[in-house]
Structure formats: C-alpha cells, structure tokens
Amino acid sequence: MKTIPEPYRIKTIEPIKLLSRGQREKKIREAKFNLFRLRSEDVYIDLLTDSGTSALSDNQWAGLLQGDEAYAGSRNYYHFVDTIKEITGFKHVIPVHQGRAAENLLFTTLLKKGDIVPSNTHFDTTRANIERQGAIALDFITEAGKSFDSDYPFKGNMDLEELRRLVKKYGKKRIPAGTMTVTNNSGGGQPASMENIKSASRILHRHGIKLLFDACRYAENAYFIKKRESGYARRSVKSIAREMFSYADGCTVSAKKDGLSNIGGFIALNDDKLATEISDLLILLEGFPTYGGLAGRDLEAIARGLREGLEEDYLDFRVNQVAYLGRLLEKVGLAVMNPTGGHAAYVEAGSYLPHIPRKQFPAQALTVALYREGGIRSCEFGGAVYTHVDRRSGKVKSAPMDLVRLAIPRRVYTRSHLDYVAEVFRKVEKKRNEVRGLRTIYEPPKLRIFTVEFEEI
C-alpha cells in the first residue's frame, strides 16, 4: 500500500480556530514577533514543538485514572522503572519532571569547572546545563551532518576523528563523559547509526570515559537504523533500541517526545555511586526518588507511552508523516533538509528570503510570516536560537544555518492539516519579497529564543 493511514482512530477532539487576519496581526505584534510569547488559543496549527504535545491514547488515559498518589512507593513508579529497565537495560532509573531537570541533576553531579563534554550536537538546554557548571560543550558533527542537502542516511553521526583527537589530548581527567543526541534535534532530527554509536562508545571507553545518550527521540533513531542500516531490517525496533543503549553507560530522557507524554523524564544509568549522588540531589531539587517531580498518574502515562512509542505501525506512520510534509514544502519551492528527520521538517530561510541579511534573522521573519498568513506557529532554529559567545575563543558564534523547524506533535494532526500548512506556504511564497527582517529589542543572556523580543525593520 502507498498510503500509510493513521494507525488509530479519533475518539476525542479539541476544536481549533483561526483568528481573523487583523487579530493575528495584533497578536504577533503583542508577542514582540516571538512565537513562544503567543497564547496557544491564538494559534491555528501549532508546529512549535513535538515536546509534550502528543495526544494520549485511551490506554494512557485509563492509566491516568490508576494513578497511585502516595508520597512514597507509588505502584506507578515501579511500573515506570520496570518499563525503562526493560527498554534500556540500565540498572538505575531516576524520575524527573522533564529533560532539562535530568540534565541539571546529571551535570551538577558529574562535572567540574573546566571539564569538556563532546557530543554530536548538544541541544540548547543541554549546552546551557553544561556551561552552567563552568564546563565546555563541544559539537562534533560530521561534514555530511553539516550539509543541508546531503542524503547521507545518518547525518546525526558523531565525527569520530575529532572525538579521538580530543580524547587523546585531554583524557578522562578533563572529559568525564561524551554524549550523543539521538536523534540529533539541533542537526535536523537526524539519526546516528549503530556503527557510529558503537565506535564512539569504543573510543570513549578505551579511555575510561562514559558515553551518555540524550535519548529523547531514541525510538525514532532506532526506527531509522532498522530502515537504513544493513543487518537491522528484520530486527524489532525495541531490540535495536536495547542494542543502542547497550553501548552507553546511561541516558537523560525527556519523556515528552518518544515517551508520548505531556510531561516527565528520567535519568537511567549503571554507575551505582553516581546514581546515589543524583538521587540525593533529586530529593533536594525535584522530590522523593519514587516520584521525582511527577504525579503517580504521570509516571503511569509515561510507562504506557514509552511502550506505544516503540510500536512499529505508529513509527511507520510518524516518520512518513514528517516526510510527507517535507515533500509538500519542497513542491512550494523551499529548500527542505534532506532527508527529513524523525520529528520535524526543517526549511532553510536564508536562501528563501535573500533580501533579509543574516543579522536580521530571516528564519525568525519566516516564522512571523507563517503566523500572519495562516495562524501557523513554527520554531526558529537559526540566529535567534544559536548565536552565542564561544567559551574557548570568546568570539560570538552564529548559527550554522537559518532554519525554521516545523515539528509535528505525535498523533495530533492529520494529512489535511499538513496540506493546509503547505497552502499557507504557497501564499507566503507569492509575497515573500514583502517579508521584513527583525532586530532584537530585548535579549536574555542564555536560552534566548524563549523570551527574546523583536521589532520589525
């Protein structure tokens, strides 16, 4: 069959409304041209993020009613732990309220000033949590991974030569751990291959350095391995995921992605001493170790969501839905990151709006145009997010590309929603020369995208 329909049917609906053009104009101005500052009720199709925006299944809703809200030893905690141990094989599981809390606990415990943490690409909250410890976060992405057009199937791979050089130079004393973001969100939702994971693991382990995953989208990564890497076609996604985790020493996970949940996350790892230290800090920052900042019902929704996130008919549909959006946008004439990633289509705004110089944030300007034209909320992954001062050189580093990410919430939108998105792009296309650049009027020092304010030039 050529069509891959949703492997579910709709039981509950949530109405959405498109504001009038005049209202949209007012709202985007009030939001200072930063779409994070819009009210969700003023958005028609919300592709801001795939994080925490999934629709729960009837099975998860049923699980919510079975929440055991005891302060200590909730039965949902044990279900949560058993599920994560079964999927990852790690010895210790620590619940947290979301991914960045996991990063904070892990890096506060693991890092000291001056340490170095190499990665394929650190997500921005991960980078910020590392830098907060006075440590250095380095991105080692391969040439293919940096290329927008390359059709290399594993553009999330780590550059192993760079990793080898760094590890040889600084060793375990300066590098307590390396991380791999799977899939690589900041690099376009691209997967890392099993071979690359295995090699990175070998290089780090040879020097006694840990490999940790930022495994928010591990199921999508495992699915890509099944489809693209030789030797995996007949294996279940679940067993591929288990093999991926077998090369690592632990992971941080935001369950708001492949955990198909609206909140939550965890750290899973093997090191007894590190687990104890993190659990002690958890009590101070998040809560007692059997709930870690979550309600019992949330733990249950995550345990069930993690299993559903590994179902192959679901993953088939999901990855194809993203590819479908990518193809539609290509037809409109946009440069779409090739191949499309697991959770989002990324389009390049710099070449699309050549009249807007990079310092006037062409990608952010495109997100504004999409909202104006059709109430679509998307997310800038360019200068507005990534401009930062490099700790090693002290120089201002700009983003490698000016991208707009159209992230697809899991199990939420249908094909006609995506057709509508493409139609809005077609309308923007007709007046793209009128799209105006932006200048910042307020910038926070870190994680600027969430609160930065702009005015139009």
> What residues make contact with ligand F0G under the rule CB under 6 A?
49, 51, 98-100, 123, 125-126, 181, 185, 214, 216, 254, 256, 265
Least distance (Å) from ligand F0G to the CB of residue 125?
5
Shortest gap between Cβ of 345 and ligand F0G (angstroms)?
Answer: 14
Cis peptide upstream of residue 183 (ω within 30 degrees of 0): yes
Q: How far is the CB of 41 from ligand F0G (least distance, A)?
A: 20
E-strand ranges in 2-79 read 45-46
Residue (214 or 300) nearer to ligand F0G, CB: 214
**Least distance to ligand F0G, CB of residue 434, Å:** 29
Tell me how far, at minimum, the Cβ of 103 lies from ligand F0G, in Å. Answer: 7
**How buried is 316 (Cβ within 10 angstroms: 0-12 exposed, 13-18 middle, 19+ buried)?**
middle
In the complex with ligand F0G, the residue whose CB is nearer, 189 or 339, is 189
Given the complex with ligand F0G, which of 126 and 193 has the nearer CB atom? 126
Closest C-alpha to 125, from 33, 241, 246, 254: 254
Whose Cβ is closer to ligand F0G: residue 101's or residue 237's?
101
Cβ contact 436:365 at 8 Å? yes
Q: Closer to ligand F0G at the Cβ: 339 or 342?
A: 342
Contact assessment for residue 84 and residue 267, using Cβ atoms and an 8 Å cutoff: no
CB-nearer residue toward ligand F0G: 129 or 193: 129
Single-letter code of the amino acid located at 382: G
Q: Minimal distance in Å, beta carbon 265 to ligand F0G?
A: 5
Minimal distance, residue 371 CB to ligand F0G, in Å? 17
- Count of residues in the chain: 457
Question: Minimum Å distance from CB 283 to ligand F0G?
Answer: 20
Q: 58-65 and 296-308 helices cross at what angle (nearest 10)?
A: 160
CA dihedral 333, 336, 340, 341 (to 10 degrees): -150
Residue nearest to ligand F0G (CB): 99
Backbone angles phi, psi at 357, to 5 degrees: -65, 160
* Strands 376-377 vs 396-397: parallel, antiparallel or unpaired: unpaired
What does the alpha-carbon distance between residue 426 and residue 329 come to, in Å, rounded to a whole number? 9
What is the spatial distance between Cα 229 and Cα 17, in angstroms, rounded to a whole number?
A: 43
Structural contact between residues 129 and 98, judged by C-beta atoms closer than 8 angstroms: no
Tell me whether residue 60 or residue 98 sits nearer to ligand F0G (CB atom). Answer: 98
Tell me whether residue 8 or residue 36 sits nearer to ligand F0G (CB atom): 36
User: Is 455 strand, coil or helix?
Assistant: strand
Q: Tell me the C-alpha distance between 213 and 211, whole Å.
A: 7
Shortest reach from residue 370's CB to ligand F0G, in Å: 17
- CA dist., res. 171 & res. 91, Å (int): 26
Beta strands (DSSP E) in 74-188 are: 92-96, 116-119, 136-139, 177-181
Q: CB of residue 49 vs ligand F0G: minimum separation in angstroms?
A: 3
- Distance between CA atoms of 371 and 27, rounded to whole angstroms? 10
Beta strand pairing call for 265-269 and 92-96: antiparallel
Q: Which is nearer to ligand F0G, 99 or 145 (CB)?
A: 99
Phi-psi region of 375 (alpha: psi -120 to 50; beta: other; left: phi over 0): left
Q: Which CB sits closer to ligand F0G, 7 or 52? A: 52
CB of 309 to ligand F0G, least distance (A): 15
**End-to-end distance of the chain based on CA atoms, in angstroms?**
49
Taking the least distance from each CB to ligand F0G, the nearer of 109 and 262 is 262
